Chain A
Amino acid sequence: MVAIETDSLERRFGSVRAVEELDLEVDEGEVFGFLGPNGAGKSTTINMLLGFVPPTAGSATVLGHDAATESLAVRQRTGVLPEDFGVYERLTARKHVRFAIDCKGAGDDPDALLSRVGLADAADRKAGGFSTGMRQRLAFAMALAGEPELLILDEPSSGLDPNGAREMREIVREEVDRGATVFFSSHIMEQVEAICDRVGVMREGRLVACDSIASLKRDLDVDSRLVVEVDRVPEGIREELLALEGVSAVRIDDGEIEVALSRAGRKTAALDAVERSGAAVEDVSTEEPSLEDLFEALTTESEVAP
């Protein structure tokens, strides 16, 4: 079963195309990371899924309901952690959660939800005095009300310290174990790998990749790096290395030659070239592409190596 499906979804604001030709499918029960830099169209997409913003073209279906025309049914079965939300300054944390439970027509215990997100001690405090992290936890507790089938979390870890982000990931896992689908957006790649089954990466309003992280790493020619420490940097080594097949960039820095390889299998050839030049190799290390490299490759214009 499909939890979220968009079909050529588009939203323009004036002449700006915030989201273009978006075809997305999120399966029931999966954790889907919706990634991209700020301004890539993630929030606009979520706003369309929730009925805050109508699409200018295309359509979106959430849990079998049309996102634009059957928004109430969508939101009845979805827990939402919005981005850029504001709390009711004068109401306590418990009143916030109670309100969410009432609107959902659910039977949860507000204190139980607050203790899940680590706010049990602050239940009677007014939300106006909460830190960003506490507000984020409060909003998360509200999203959990009524055991939603789908959780839509917009930048859930913003404002959370690493510990808070870890706790949030644990709750996400618990929710998935319960059978929920989780769709969350983030502009930070690191937080994603641990919990996501699949990711979609947005750039300038378009979905530029959609797959598991492992497959993305495999498919993408993200450079791995070979770092060779030498006693002296031989003349002309840069040109020699760049002439090799599979070498995309060379950086030379004070007895250290860094070779970016678009194909990991070319390491030996590069190392051979350095040794042939007469320099004594003191140390060799390699770096595999990190998630950040992957993310960067997907979300920035590819540059031609100098």
Chain B
Amino acid sequence: MSWAHIARKDFADAGRSLTLWVVTGLLILLVAGMTAIPSLLETEEPFGQALYFLFSAVALVIPIVGLLLGYNAVVGERESGSIRFLLGLPNTRRDVVWGKLLGRTAVVVVASVVAFAVGAGVIAWLYDGFVVSDYLALLAFTVVMGLVYLSIAIGVSASVSSRGKAIAGVLGLFVLFDVVWQSVPMGIYYLLEGSWPTLYGEGSLPAWFVLVERLSPGQALSAVAIEIVDVIDVAEIDLTAAGRVAGEVPFYLETWFAGVIVIAWIAVPIAIGYARFSRAVLN
């Protein structure tokens, strides 16, 4: 259970850092602010709208929070030399990677719970029809999203030998998978068809297109989220696979498969990070 001690120490350490409080403060502002928007717009179904705004904020901020919290987790200890304490004590390198993932996840959980508690207050005050289960589901989703980006960042952090490389790696992955990834299926489509696809509203996309799109962590998470946050009633266009692809929805575009992709985005980066860290020469 060494990883539990490492996680606890890491949480205590991170909890005394400015990061946690900045993250929590930012989340509270976002959650409270975004959930208040529907009341200003005086829309119908304000609770559903509030959740939708909340989800948008979470999807924007949590990846950055996860990457920021994670990128220095392991390599920071290598640079400061405290890794010599960690590994001079009877801890395995697996304990270190697991402990870090767990400790930082706890930071995300605490920050999210506090922020969502404030958000719940705002929503209960402004709107009728608070659906506790939907709200908790979105909170759980937030934590899972945090876990995905923490895993990516800690995987990178465990793989490299300097903070600079960790920043470059994390930024590179973020830009590749969350910024430019959309253009990958677009490019393939253009090469095959000689024209640009219509992404939403028409239901004419080939199934592979949506699959490639969903290989990005952000898109896979969104595919799961639209089941939790009932955006179908809220958004004017159909965002689900059924509304986007031509013909039957194949199994790999069902929500559970998006869940598999999400799990892979948690498991694979941390596994690669561990594999590289376990062979690292710590001189």
Contact = CB atoms under 8 A, between A and B. Distances in A.
A100 B82 contact: no
B9 A99 contact: yes
A13 B79 CA distance: 19
Contacts of B77: 86
A92 to B, nearest CB: 10
A50 interface: yes
B87 A103 contact: no
A102 B5 contact: yes
Interface stretch (B89-97, B102-110, B120-128, B182-190): B89-97
Contacts of B85: 82, 85, 96, 99-100, 139, 142
A103 B91 contact: yes
A51 interface: yes
Chain A interface size, as a band, is: 20 to 34
A181 interface: no
Contacts of B92: 72
Contacts of A102: 5, 8
Contacts of B13: 88, 90-91
Nearest to B4: A102
Given A50-B87, A72-B90, A103-B89, A82 B12 contact: no
Contacts of A85: 81-82, 84-85, 88
A220 interface: no
A82 B90 contact: no
Interface string B150-185: 000000000000000000000000000000000000
B282 interface: yes
A84 B85 CA distance: 10
Contacts of B84: 52, 80, 82-86
Nearest to B89: A103
B145 to A, nearest CB: 27
B268 to A, nearest CB: 26
Contacts of B82: 85-88
A286 B77 CA distance: 53
A87 to B, nearest CB: 6
Contacts of A13: 283
B90 to A, nearest CB: 4
A51 B87 contact: yes
B11 to A, nearest CB: 11
A102 B85 CA distance: 13
A52 B79 CA distance: 14
Given A72-B92, A82-B88, A142-B85, A88 B283 contact: no
A185 interface: no
Contact of B17 (A52, A75, A84, A90): A90
A88 B9 contact: yes
Interface string A40-60: 000010010011111000000
Contacts of B88: 50, 75, 80, 82, 85, 143
Interface of A: 13, 44, 47, 50-54, 72, 75-76, 80, 82-88, 90-91, 95-96, 99-100, 102-104, 139, 142-143
Interface of B is mostly: helix
A234 to B, nearest CB: 57
B186 to A, nearest CB: 45
Interface string B1-15: 010011011001100
Nearest to B84: A82
Given A50-B87, A100-B85, A103-B5, A95 B12 contact: yes
Contacts of A54: 281
Nearest to A51: B87
Nearest to B92: A72
Given A86-B80, A99-B9, A47 B89 contact: no
B89 A100 contact: yes
A54 B12 CA distance: 32
A103 B283 contact: no
B98 to A, nearest CB: 14
Query: Most chain-A Cβ atoms within 10 A of its Cβ — which of B8, B17, B89?
Result: B89
5 contacts: A52-B281, A86-B82, A90-B17, A91-B13, A99-B89
A90 B82 CA distance: 12
Contacts of B12: 91, 95
B87 A104 contact: no
B5 A84 contact: no
Nearest to A82: B84
Contacts of A88: 9, 13, 82
